[in-house]
Structure 1
């Protein structure tokens, strides 16, 4: 562990010492981490034979964590909560995994805990006191009355601000679950600080640059009123960023680290980078707190130390094992309601890797292999965090592709995203926030927007804006007229489609208004000062909208177009066999609550353009409706097709569809075809999703696929080769994202009944991985109900 030292050296002398042996470039004159990487990283095209085993110290620490903390969580959900200390960068004293002092601890490779004890959760009341209080009580504790007094009497929160401004229209939409999961009572997240800057430059230099930025815009007496407000906010935000950087130095000093200076070796590079991230997760509880794109950067330091004989491969692997260990024990205080939407305690410490540089060199390094190696049983074993994300391209080095495939088959812990799409839109130093959301590290951030229930909007279109579950008039009467059936009792496709566009127009307006309110208030009451301190002065902002229920909407429109769909009205449902459960007590007689569909129709997910083109139209239409609207701080609207585990919650609060999807049953995840409907194999499913235009969903298009081991091949070598081929083929057909599970349904069914046998069983859901046994029973059954492909292509 590096001690606080060398205060007598000038900044120039410290930089010369830290940067010795690195190739010169613009990175030495300005903050330009990408330039440093491009000048200094070493591409690796060999195989995994160089990898070293885990050290005894790594094994000790991981076993100690599992025995003393993770095992407790498996029994009682939450290990512990600090109810007296509002979280901040420097709110807690130093803590170590084994609970010993700095001088005696074996936790001395990469140090730093969120609180003073592993897995103890801190409260972050700036986001909203009600949620904090509820989460504390659900953990079996009582909130501190003095803290409650502060945050209910004296300190306004993000949640207070949002709900004080929300319109009646927004509240009704939330109540009826067509708007769900909005970040109005929890941290928004999806902001990636460029934590590499802490290592490359040291915090003193970052403070100097931020002070320069703060003073870069002089005040002018001819400013307009909006310009005055912008100038004041610009200076205030930079002032908060500088304060946060000073707290980061204090955090380092608590652990005996001098973060004011640049990192001088590989151990410090890993440690300094982690401390930047640690400061973020100590002060913010965003839904996704992603780690960035760090392998090539860290490999520059590791490779230099290896070449200079400072470390060996065992030490190099130990550094990566230990930072991954720390990333696995991030914890946030969440309510059970939150868990229903984001199940399994995820925090998306997403670590993006691989892909290509713009000059054609692969961004695969030996540290790319070391990261995957942490997932093997000889090291830390399978785990959902960090959310390892590989930027895939068929041209990546073959040995690396095969190693990725092997680890996927063994662990189901990796997701793959299209390097071609990401690099062409966002450059070669982009990383994923959360699940599928790309952004240029340190130059771009997202206003996270959760998602709308776009399938439910189709039912509103048919019912004239009434909710099929409650009968409530959600869209003002007269905006959309209920659809009257044709003479033969069926629905007309063009009428349904036209009404659907009107419903989506209303939904987008309600949605974006809510988001503008949310992000105004989040900036005001829960600003992410340390994360934004690790960004450039001028930041490109996106509004990361989202949609759910794509496959249901597409299949239902397909049914109306190609088959005969007869609406079932509330007055008839009560006494109609098979539809009794759809009846809504007290609702209008003419409320459509169910459907009878006769005849066959094309189904999305089977590489059939007739259905797939409808899905493309839905995505394009939703995005077009959002793009026409004004957005807070000039953010550029994007959207993702992603559901997390909230597909269960959406289904629970939505009625039956013309596609045959039943009331109350889970949606398919993300852009997936409806569960069990993609009957032609894994590749046709991928090809259908790959047809969706990425320009209509720049925030990402998520596909989760499960294939059985036998369906993938007869032995390990065949399975590895086939999985590489499947990923190459999907990527070549425009697929943006692929979650890959290689699992047997019987294993998961046994885990439902005997969770104690499967404490580390990892499964990928919509955009992230989760410990299967941490899911609710309902969510476990949803995962089991999804398609288990028996091969790449089946008839």
Structure 2
């Protein structure tokens, strides 16, 4: 049986300035620890995760995502679920309400401080009210701070649903989530509330919801991108878990996972990322944001990196290490069969970013003819 939760949601966290004012970065500085391990303790998908992901895939295949979201009954917005009894994280991007509020705040504040304290400090009351209304659709009380990792992920995701607040940039890009969630997950692991399999389940459920995101014409609903990690941040165990979703759930074009590469990252994380890249064609790399407009930018096939998987992993790591420090680094690796699938059904991969000698190109910025031309050029270069 799980251990009872403490009455104080902050119990187990290191004290600091974050307790006196709303300051997520101070909280992270006081409580985050670098992960020096490898991928050996990562787990595969559970039967529950596979069942939820199957339902999500059916929803995507039927192209019913936009119909399923935010139905009105008698003038009232209703929640949306894949399986209410089995889901761990509720809600979908562009979920009930449609009209989301712009905010310059940090969505992680809701999990750390709770709606009650944020209202007390006068933090964007109209935004907090909108998020609280959305939470009530799911019978969730966000007044207190999150007391568990599940609540921290749920509170933060609700804030993302109700607002137009990207943590970085203008394109609904998400960063800093891995280190924030990792603090909560590690605390729950330490006190016996979670086991590693359950921690991976939470990250899998969050990723499923991000994969269900679909553009609606609103710039704020552009498919999300996750950057791992931000410059100056250490590798976390949850960084491994997020990359591991490409195994537990399979490859996907969204959310776009981009690794900000540096030789300062641990050898184990760099090697794991390279392995996942070779296996799934679903990771890309850059040295800094924004993505390069010119310079060392390319898309390549794995067989150009070596004859065996181990050789490909080694060569990719060496290539990325050699380009470290260049603000123009931008690389992704796509298998020929993946590129052929994109060429055959480009609309399914419309939000993929490919790296070309002239710089990074977001496929959704191109008209259909230009998109086909770019993909055909890449395929031809692979076959030459």
- TM class by smaller structure: 0.7 to 0.9
Contact 2:70–2:95, Cα closer than 8 Å, also in 1? no
1:198 matched to 2:110? The reply is yes
1:110 matched to 2:89? The reply is yes
| Aligned-residue offset at 1:253 | 2.0
1:401 matched to 2:270? The reply is yes
Contact 1:394–1:731, Cα closer than 8 Å, also in 2? yes
Once the two structures are superposed, residues 565-622 of structure 1 have per-residue CA deviations (whole angstroms, 9 ceiling, x without a partner) of xxxxxxxxxxxxxxxxxxxxxxxxxxxxxxxxxxxxxxxxxxxxxxxxxxxxxxxxxx
- 1:710 corresponds to: 303
| 1:742 aligns with one of 326, 330, 334 | 334
Structure 2 SS opposite 1:721: helix
Contact 1:348–1:768, Cα closer than 8 Å, also in 2? no
1:72 matched to 2:72? The reply is no
Larger Rg: 1
Q: Distance in 2 between matches of 1:787 and 1:245?
A: 48
* Alpha-carbon distance change, 305 to 709 in structure 1, aligned in 2, over 3 angstroms: same
| Aligned-residue offset at 1:781 | 3.2
Once the two structures are superposed, residues 537-588 of structure 1 have per-residue CA deviations (whole angstroms, 9 ceiling, x without a partner) of xxxxxxxxxxxxxxxxxxxxxxxxxxxxxxxxxxxxxxxxxxxxxxxxxxxx
Q: Distance in 2 between matches of 1:363 and 1:328?
A: 26
Give structure 2 stretches of 5+ with no counterpart. none
| 2:354 aligns with one of 753, 765, 779 | 765
Q: Distance in 2 between matches of 1:298 and 1:72?
A: 32
- 2:376 corresponds to: 784
1:44 matched to 2:35? The reply is yes
Q: Distance in 2 between matches of 1:53 and 1:770?
A: 31
Q: Distance in 1 between matches of 2:342 and 2:13?
A: 50
- 2:150 corresponds to: 267
Structure 1 SS opposite 2:111: helix
Q: Distance in 1 between matches of 2:183 and 2:338?
A: 41
Structure 2 SS opposite 1:30: coil
Aligned residue runs from structure 1 range 335-484, under 5 A: 347-355=222-230, 357=232, 363-376=234-247, 379-418=248-287, 436-437=289-290
Structure 2 SS opposite 1:388: strand
Contact 1:202–1:259, Cα closer than 8 Å, also in 2? yes
Contact 2:43–2:197, Cα closer than 8 Å, also in 1? yes
Q: Distance in 1 between matches of 2:149 and 2:338?
A: 41
* Alpha-carbon distance change, 106 to 747 in structure 1, aligned in 2, over 3 angstroms: same
**The 10-residue stretch of structure 1 (301-310 or 287-296) with the greater mean CA deviation from structure 2:** 287-296
Q: Distance in 2 between matches of 1:333 and 1:417?
A: 28
1:721 matched to 2:314? The reply is yes
Contact 1:41–1:300, Cα closer than 8 Å, also in 2? yes
For normalisation by structure 1, the TM-score amounts to 0.42
| Aligned-residue offset at 1:302 | 0.6
| Aligned-residue offset at 1:94 | 1.4
- 1:497 corresponds to: none
Contact 1:405–1:724, Cα closer than 8 Å, also in 2? yes
Give structure 1 stretches of 5+ with no counterpart. 1-13, 99-104, 127-186, 212-240, 339-344, 423-435, 438-639, 642-669, 672-684, 687-702
Q: Distance in 2 between matches of 1:731 and 1:279?
A: 38
* Alpha-carbon distance change, 204 to 713 in structure 1, aligned in 2, over 3 angstroms: same
- 1:17 corresponds to: 8
Structure 1 SS opposite 2:8: helix
Q: Distance in 2 between matches of 1:740 and 1:388?
A: 11
- 1:94 corresponds to: 79
Contact 1:390–1:416, Cα closer than 8 Å, also in 2? yes
- 2:24 corresponds to: 33
> Considering only aligned residues, what root-mean-square deviation do their CA atoms show, in Å?
3.8
Q: Distance in 2 between matches of 1:383 and 1:48?
A: 20
